[in-house]
Each structure stands twice: as structure tokens, then as C-alpha cells.
Amino acid sequence: MKKIEALKTVMLTEITKVNSLAEIETLKIKYLGKKGEIQGLMQEMRHLSNEERPQFGALVNALKNEVETLITQKVDEFIQAEVLNQINAEHIDITLPGQNLEVGNQHPLTIVENEICELFESMGYAVVDGPEVELDLYNFERANIPENHPAREMQDTFFIDVERLLRTHTTAIQTRVLEAEAENLPIKVICPGKTYRRDEDDATHSHQFIQIEGLLIDENIKMTDLKGTLEVLVKNVFGSDQEIRLRPSYFQFTEPSVEVDVTCFNCKGSGCSVCKQTGWIELLGAGMVHPHVLEMAGIDSKKYSGFAFGIGVDRAVMLKYGVNDIRSLYTNDTRLLSQFKRFD
Ligand code: FA5
């Protein structure tokens, strides 16, 4: 009996001292296992008299029950503590402000392209598209630039084969529209698109850039209509204080032809290194559609006349936003692009 009492004291003390689930599992095996201490006590019953055995057995059983209950309690305590720890470790503070997702925005080339197209749409022009892989026929021949003509040198071309090329200007869309709409006059279209030239990339030249072609064909269209339209374009896109200047120029598909300059964005006209001290920056080419171009499309050039212009959108973006290297419009640097976020 004394042994049972002594063992009980040791067991209860040891159980209260355990610090982990692993330790209590070890004690469980030590006390309650097949070769455990309580089983050891049971073995000793053999040496007792028949009178002593029931009392001894009852005490050992009571001890066994008590130890089992205590161990189960401890195991539960440790499991609960572990669960609590895990909950605390994985705790999410739902009051913390969330992480904002990056919101994309339109590329400046798209912004200006849309602005110009929307302006002309508001004046009754239709937006028309055309293929980037174009036939020599529409890019050159119908623009009055026959094979072997020196004017082809003005636009160094990526040829695909003898008939096909990457269009060098949106004038290729113009010649397609003239042919398609010859029986459906007047024509009032605005044609945006990518264009390609074998130009060396530098601060103001890119081998791929964007142009927008404008074309108006009707009876009695004059140079003054062209000038007025370009003034509306420039003042809307660049600001009402912008002036334009027409310089005589040469294009094979317009006669007369002009190069159109706008007031330098950098010096506002006083002269600086950006505008090579002239106060002006070249923006687009334009002119009255050559009668031969109209005739090739099947339009009576005695009755109809019209103007056309081709604006470089990249140059327009550079002018409008003071971007000093065209290449930065194609390198996807978010430090530049994120400045064009619109908050509307
Ligand atoms: C033309 O392409 C004519 N088709 C424009 C035209 C249309 C004239 C209709 C008359 C009637 P030009 O080669 O000058 O013209 O190019 C027009 C504009 O495209 C230039 O003013 C410039 O803004 C832009 N541009 C030309 N080459 C490049 C280039 N490599 N990189 C960026 N922009 C360019």
C-alpha cells in the first residue's frame, strides 16, 4: 500500500511538471503502457494473499483511473494551447488598410491618337483603318510615286516581297479610301495607324511610328479649308495659344504641298536648341490632293478637289507633353507612362 501511495505521489508530481505534448506522451507510456509502472504493480498482486488482493487491486485501479484522467486532461490542455498558438500566429488584422492594385492607364500615343480622332469625328469625319502589310500599289503607285521614281527615296521602306511592304505612311489608307469611295463622294475620313520606315532610331525618329491621315474630297475645296482645319486641329490638341506656319514643301501626291510647323513647346517661339533656334517645330505634311491621284482612283478632278494631311502622332505627343526622346514612348518605362494617369 505504501508503495502505491509513494508511486502515486511521484506520478502526480511528474504529470504536473510536464511541459509538452511529447513529454506527456512519454509519461503515458511509462505509467500506463504494457510494460509500464501500473502494469508492474498489477504483476505484484501474485505475491499477495487472497484477502489482500481485492483491496490492492481496487487501489491500483483507482490509481490507474486517476493517472489516466490526469494525462488525458494534460493532453487536452497541450492540444488546446497549440491550436491557440496557431490561431495567434495566423491572425489577420482585418483593420489594416488593403494593398491597392496597380491600375493601368492609356499610353500617351493612344491618348493623343484618340483625341485627334474624336475631334475629327465631331466635325463629321469617319474613322477608317487599313492594312499594315500593304501593297506597293496603294502605298506608292496610287500616291503618284511610280516604281524607280526618286520620290521613293524619301521613305526608306521595309519590303516583304516585290509587291508587298510595311506601309511607310497612312497615305496608303487614303488611296484605298479614294478608290473604294470614288462613287460615293464627298469623302471625309480620318485614318490612324502604325507606319514603318528604315529610319535609324534617334531622339526624333523611330523605325515604327504612328500617323493619322486626314482626307476631305468635295466640290470646291480650297487651300484655305486645309489651313482652317489644321488650325482647329492644332489649337484643340496643343492649346489655343498655339500658332501654325505653312511652309512650301513637296509630296508627290499633293500639289501644292506644305509642311506644317507649330510654335515650339519648349521656348514658346523665342528660339532654343529643341527647335534649332527657329521657334517652330515640324508636325505634319499636307497639301491639296494631286489631280492625278484623284483620276487614278476614278474621281473627276475637274469637278472635285480636296485636301489631305498626315500627322506624326509620336511627334505630337513629344510636343504636347515635352517628351524629348521618341524612344521613351516605346520602352514601356512606367516612370514615364504612369504620368499619364487619368483620374476621370
Ligand atoms: C508623309 O508621310 C506624308 N504621307 C504626309 C502627307 C499626307 C503629306 C497627306 C501630304 C498629304 P512625312 O514623311 O513628312 O510625310 O511624314 C509625316 C510626319 O510623320 C512627319 O511630319 C513626322 O511627324 C512623322 N514622321 C516621319 N518619319 C518619322 C519617324 N521615323 N519617326 C517618327 N515620326 C516620323
Q: What is the DSSP string of 13-55?
A: HHHHH--SHHHHHHHHHHHHSTTSHHHHHHHHGGGS-TTHHHH
Atom index in ligand 1 nearest the CA of residue 205 equals 31
3-class secondary structure, 201: coil
Percentage of the chain surpassing pLDDT 70? 99
DSSP characters over 79-107: HHHHHHHHHHHT---TTSPPPPPPPP---
Beta-bridge partner residues of 306:
217
With bands split at pLDDT 50, 70 and 90, how would you rate the model's confidence at 56?
confident
Alpha-carbon span 136 to 132, nearest angstrom: 12
Residue to substitute in 191, 202, 209, 262 for testing ligand 1 pocket (most ligand atoms within 8 angstroms of CB): 209
Residue 100 is assigned to a structural domain of this protein: no
Q: Which residue has the CA at smallest separation from atom 32 of ligand 1?
A: 205
Show the CA angle centred on residue 238, arms to residues 232 and 244, nearest 5°.
60
pLDDT grade for 338, boundaries at 50, 70 and 90: confident
Domain co-membership, 270 together with 169:
yes
79-93, 146-160, 305-319: the lowest-pLDDT one = 146-160
Evaluate whether residue 297 is within a structural domain: yes
CB-based contact 206:326 (threshold 8 Å): yes
Q: Looking at the structure, tell me whether residues 169 and 236 fall in a common domain.
A: yes
Is the pLDDT score of 123 beyond 70? yes
Confidence at 167, pLDDT banded by 50, 70, 90: very high
Estimate the crossing angle of helix 223-238 against helix 108-122, to 10 degrees.
130
The C-alpha angle with vertex 144 and arms to 139 and 147, in degrees rounded to 5, equals 75
SS3 339: helix
Choosing from 171, 176, 190 the residue with most ligand 1 atoms within 8 A of its CB, the one to mutate for a pocket test is 171
Task: Classify residue 118 as left (phi > 0), alpha (psi -120 to 50) or beta.
Answer: alpha
Structural domain for 21, as ranges: 2-89
Does residue 17 belong to any structural domain of this protein?
yes
For residue 80, tell me if it sits in a domain. Answer: yes
- Ranges of beta strands (E only) in 252-327 are 254-263, 280-289, 304-312
Q: What is the whole-number distance in angstroms between the Cα of residue 29 and the centre of ligand 1?
A: 90
Judge contact between 258 and 285, C-beta under 8 A: yes
Do residues 76 and 132 share a domain?
A: no
Tell me the CA–centroid distance for residue 219 and ligand 1, in Å: 27
| pLDDT recorded at residue 312 | 95
- Is 194 part of a structural domain of the chain? yes
Cα–ligand 1 centroid distance for 225 (angstroms):
21
What is the average pLDDT value for the chain, to the nearest integer? 92
Both 204 and 309 in a single domain? yes
The protein residue whose alpha carbon is closest to atom 14 in ligand 1 is 285
Alpha-carbon span 72 to 58, nearest angstrom: 21
State how far the Cα of 149 lies from the Cα of 132, in Å rounded to an integer. 22
Report the pLDDT averaged over residues 95-102. Answer: 86
Same domain (yes/no): 257, 317: yes
| DSSP, res 343 | -
CATH number at residue 180: 3.30.930.10
- The set of protein residues with a Cβ atom below 6 angstroms from ligand 1 is 169, 171, 197, 199, 205-206, 209, 211, 213, 251, 254, 282-287, 308-310, 312, 314-315, 326
Residue 44 lies in a domain: yes
Indicate the residue among 42, 58, 89 that finishes a domain: 89
44 & 136 share domain:
no
Same domain, 211 and 274: yes
Which residue, judged by its Cα, is nearest atom 15 of ligand 1?
A: 285
User: What's the average model confidence in pLDDT over 213-234?
Assistant: 97
The stretch 40-55 carries a mean pLDDT of 86
How remote is the CA of residue 42 from the centroid of ligand 1, in Å? 106
CA 312 to ligand 1 centroid distance, Å: 6
User: Do 149 and 57 fall into the same domain?
Assistant: no
Q: What is the mean pLDDT of residues 22-29?
A: 90
**Mean pLDDT on 237-245:** 89
Percent of the chain topping pLDDT 90: 58
293-323 tens-digit pLDDT: 999 999 999 999 999 999 999 999 998 898 8
Which of 32, 55, 89 is at the close of a domain? 89
82 shares its domain with 159: no
The C-alpha atoms of residue 324 and residue 249 are separated, in whole angstroms, by 25
Spatial CA neighbour of 314 closest among 339, 283, 276, 280? 283
Question: Structurally, how many domains does the chain consist of?
Answer: 2
Q: What pairs with residue 133 in β-bridges?
A: 166
Give per-residue pLDDT as tens, 244-300. Answer: 999 999 999 999 999 999 988 778 889 887 788 998 988 999 999 999 999 999 999
Same domain for 296 and 200: yes
Edge-to-edge strands, sheet with 254-263: 126-127, 187-196, 208-219, 304-312, 280-289, 254-263, 244-251
Which ligand 1 atom is the nearest neighbour of the CA of 313? 23
CA gap 325, 274 in Å, rounded: 11
Question: What was the pLDDT predicted at 343?
Answer: 56
- Domain assignment of residue 252, yes or no: yes
The answer to whether residues 126 and 50 belong to one domain is: no
Q: What mean pLDDT comes out for the span 125-140?
A: 97
Residue 190 lies in a domain: yes
Same domain, 198 and 135: yes
CA–CA dist 220, 125 (Å, integer): 18
Please enumerate in sequence order all residues whose Cβ is within 8 A of that of 49, keeping only pairs 6 or more positions apart, or say none: none
